[in-house]
Structure 1
Amino acid sequence: MRTPERTMELFNISAEQSVLGALLIDNDAIDRMGDLQADHFYRGDHRTMFAEIMRQIGAGKACDVISLHEGVGARVDESLAYAHQLASNTPSSANIGRYAGIVRDKALKRGLVAAGRQFVEMAETSIEEGSVLVDRAGSMLEKLAEAKVRQEPVRASDEMSDYVEELERRIDGTGAKPISTGFPDVDKRLSGGVRRGELIVVAARPKMGKTAFAQNVANNVSLDHSSLFLSMEMPKKQLHDRNIASLGRVPLSRLLQPADLENNDWTGITHAIQKLTDMNLYVDDQPALRLLDVRMKAKQVKRRHGLDLLVIDYLQLMEGEGDNRNSQIEGITRGLKSLAKELDIGIVLLSQLNRRLEERPNKRPIPADLRDSGAIEQDADAVLFLYRDEVYHPDSPDKGVCEVNVALCRQGEPGTAGLAYIGEQTRFESLANGWERSQPKKEEPRRRGIAEHL
């Protein structure tokens, strides 16, 4: 079979020259070329000259033919004559954005070719399993895809016309709406629910019901939207058990021991299965996910089915890159925030809390209790803490109530909402008459003297 001839070169020398020439005649054109880097240039002398131009402009100096020649010195042959030629052959800097885009595009295609060759070499020579090689290949492609074009700042007044139109759409009910959690009291604290592009952290100590809460939210969202639940803690069968228990209002213990099922339980099971059939809910139980894995799974569901909400259970089980756990967590939360904006989805991220709060008399969580990194509260658009007083005080007057404390919220009103928690069914629901936290009983002062013995 004849090998197909290459129909397109993987470089464009004219585009590279036009970028350099535009920068030499107009240093301010640097603001219109996007995120172009020296490594994007094909020719070595072009890389050297571009890096020097960027260095001089970045230092606040004017860069022209003479200063460029002095800066590159002997690293570029006949640099003075060539720089003069570049500047003379570029009539205007108006099209630098288009030329820079061509240079970036060619660099990306060269990267794909190089990666493809490396994939072939890995497949032919590596003794590692194919799944490991696929993960490595995915990481390489992800790095190629991370090249971004810088967005130019705009004057705020120029955006007001679009803003007013969006405000009118909100009034008419046709604008972008937050994604409801299914719990009105929680939505109120979040100013309507989870907004696209937001990262919402839900944190609690063990046994508080954070996985059940996240599943309930995902189920509620899946009725009218699409949600993906990534569980690194529980296998899919356990997730299904909990969903059937919650949606069918069947005690989880009976599902785990079917011999105890009662006749009316089967009605609930049938109802739950039918409801799940009608829901746009996707689940995955791969353990030890990396940020790359989360991105690939979310993008896959988004592309094939559409995606509105991503739930991750939970942060501390994810693998990250960095010298220590703090830097790893920081990279993960920052990446998830970027992913939410990139895919235009809401992300609910579950997180553990430090054990230190167990040493306090009042064990209700505060932001300082977030485990592993302060980056969690910095990157999150909202932080919700779950607390059930009965876990620590079995005779609590708030037994059966879960406090959802919206402690941090950029777009909402911090405060606490109460939800009913039916533990045997792993189900949350709104309280019929609202909720106010019960006040602890005040101890009567101890009487002394004769009065103490009366």
Structure 2
Amino acid sequence: MKSPVSEPPHSKLAEKAVLSLMMRDEETRRRALLEGIGEDHFYCLQSVYLAVTTLSRSGATIDAISLTEELRSSGDLEGVGGESAVVEMWEMNENPRGWKQWVRALANARIERIKEDGLRWAADAKTPEAALEALRTTQEEMRQALAGPNRSKTAQEVAILVDQELHRLYNAGAIPGIPTGMGDLDQLTGGMKYAQLWVIAAETSRGKSVLMYQLGCSAIANQKRVAIFSAEMTVEEVGIRLISHRGKIMMDHLSSPKSAGKGHMNRMQTQLKLLAEEPFSLDDTPRMSLSYLYAECQRLAEIHGGLDLVIVDYLQILDVEVKRTENRQDAVSKLSSGLKQLAKLLRCPVVTGSQLNDNGQLRESRAIGQDADVLLAIGADGIRIQKNRNGKRDETLHYRLVGEIQTFAPFDPKERTAEQEAADEAAEREKAKKRSSGRDRQHRN
């Protein structure tokens, strides 16, 4: 015999009392909004809360009849007990003095539901890392629920913070953020500013990692503390790329040192000595998760008194635990949102990469573009600034990937190299071949 499944924590009486007051009084509805009461506070009667707020936003009269019709049109009337249940709530006529007590009961029940859901999520996880991610997410949801909505700053506090920020920007000069090493990009973005999320998007093998590490090298050259997390490559592979970019050393020589001459070997050793003294760390932990990133970044920040830049290579390859009701798009959305929140938490820029699909769109989630403050897309004609929060966008900067030395170098679009011309000719031949094939099919038909 199966044991009965217990319902999640809730207080139906408190839900009825709060909704009864919200139905009858506009001021109470405003109070609920100010106190952060939302649909997640209701378990049994969530659809009634949504009906009340929908009618309120539309300016319609709220009474038992309009609520009944709204619930009937949404298909939720029978689920809440029918018309008689709506009339019962309308006629409860509860004393407003009990408001705080009922709201507290709703909040406590909501926190308990978050806790139970999180523990089940962690228990169902297939790996310790996934369980840790589930617990971290649950902890953050509980922290926000406990803190409530009272996080707003007074006008005086806002003025003080804005004044401090203006002084900081003034003293920072023309480029308030960390220089990217690309003058035109710095002029348009102001450099990599604190609390920003930068996303570098490209199709496979277009140079996402190269550009990320190039930005990192620019920060390192400016004596900024940089934390690099590579979920794709090993420490050795990333280190070789950094040396190639910084020393302009051919990747062929680094991949096969025995074939390199003495002069090249000396340059490698010089770059290794310089690299060993730079203010950065590099982590290639397998199956890296958001929880791990948060914990390691906070550990590094405590050791060094803060971080200036975090690089995560790259977004879609990070490990994330999702609930049974979530899909891959939800998972990627969690990752991009998590990296944006990490930037705010550390008060430093976070740079990551994202795959583009064959249509040039961000793969798997629009949330990546929404969370990003700066979105750079690598294409055949250069680096396009697709998004630049509070700045100029839709500009194409003419930089070309020079894979031999792991660098994006400027080029004149009017000057076509033999390699580019050959690639264009091959592309035209392929197009002509497809057109010819299409005409042949039409002729046969």
TMscore range, shorter length: 0.5 to 0.7
Q: Distance in 1 between the 2:206 and 2:84 partners?
A: 68
Other-structure match for 1:396: none
**Greater helix share, structure number:** 2
The answer to whether 1:349 aligns with 2:352 is: yes
Distance verdict in 2 for CA 1:102–1:206, change over 3 Å = same
Matched with 2:406 is 426
Q: Give, in whole Å, the separation in 1 of the partners of 2:210 and 2:268.
A: 18
Q: Is 1:146 the counterpart of 2:138 in the alignment?
A: no
Shift in CA distance, 257/38, structure 1 to aligned 2, threshold 3 Å: closer
| Distance (whole Å) between structure 1 residues aligned to residue 103 and residue 19 of structure 2 | 10
Native 8 Å contact 1:38 1:50 kept in 2: yes
TM-score under structure 2 normalisation?
Answer: 0.62
Q: 1:38 to 1:410 in 2, by over 3 A?
A: closer
The letter of the residue matching 1:385 is: A
- What letter matches 1:437 in structure 2? P
Measured at CA, do residues 175 and 107 of structure 1 come closer, stay the same or move farther in structure 2, by a change above 3 Å? farther
Segments of structure 1 that go 5 or more residues without pairing to the other structure are 1-9, 41-46, 356-367, 390-402, 442-454
**Matching residue of 1:437:** 413
Give the Å deviation of 1:266: 3.6
Asked if structure 1 preserves the Cα contact closer than 8 Å seen for 2:196 and 2:349, the reply is yes
Could you say which residue in structure 2 is the equivalent of 1:32? Answer: 34
User: Where do residues 50-199 of structure 1 align in structure 2 (5 Å cutoff)?
Assistant: 55-56=51-52, 58-60=54-56, 87=96, 89-90=97-98, 104=107, 108=111, 112=115, 132-147=127-142, 148=144, 149-150=148-149, 163=162, 166-173=165-172, 177-190=176-189, 192-199=190-197
Corresponding residue for residue 265 of structure 1: 265
Q: Secondary structure of the residue that 1:59 maps to in structure 2?
A: helix
- 1:214 is displaced (CA, Å) by 1.0
| Matching residue of 2:202 | 204
Kept in 2, the 8 Å contact 1:199–1:336? The answer is yes
CA–CA distance in 2 between the matches of 1:308 and 1:379?
A: 20
Q: Which residue of the partner structure matches residue 378 of structure 2?
A: 386
What runs of 5+ residues in structure 2 fail to find an aligned partner?
1-8, 68-79, 418-445
Residue 372 of structure 1: aligned partner:
363
Q: Give the aligned CA root-mean-square deviation in angstroms.
A: 5.2
Q: Cα gap change, 1:21/1:225 in structure 2, threshold over 3 Å: closer, same or farther? A: farther
Q: Which moved more, 1:325-334 or 1:255-264?
A: 325-334
Instruction: State the shift of 1:238 in Å.
Output: 1.1
TM-score w.r.t. structure 1 length?
Answer: 0.61
**How far apart, CA to CA, are the structure 1 residues paired with 2:117 and 2:48?**
27
Q: Aligned residue for 1:278? A: 278
Aligned length: 376
Shift of 1:111: 5.3
Distance 2:315 2:117 in 1: 34
Corresponding residue number in structure 1 for 2:294? 298
**% identical aligned pairs:** 21
The one-letter code of the counterpart of 1:413 is K
Query: Given residue 424 of structure 1, which amino acid in structure 2 is its aligned partner?
Result: E
Aligned partner of 1:416 in structure 2 is: 396
What per-residue deviation string (whole Å, max 9, x for no partner) do you get for residues 348-405 of structure 1? 23233444xxxxxxxxxxxx5135357154443333233567xxxxxxxxxxxxx333
CA contact (8 A) 1:236 1:285 kept: no
Output the CA distance in 2 between the equivalents of 1:137 and 1:102: 29
For residues 77-113 of structure 1, what are the alpha-carbon distances to aligned partners after superposition, in whole Å with 9 as ceiling and x for unaligned? x9899x66753x44xx7xx5x9957964685478558
Distance in 2 (alpha carbons) for counterparts of 1:203 and 1:144: 31
CA distance in 1, matches of 2:193, 2:250: 33
Cα distance in 2 between the residues matched to 1:185 and 1:437 = 15
CA change 1:419–1:11 in 2 (3 A) is same
Contact conserved, 1:186 with 1:404, CA < 8 A, in 2? no
8 Å CA contact 2:228–2:280 kept in 1: the answer is: no
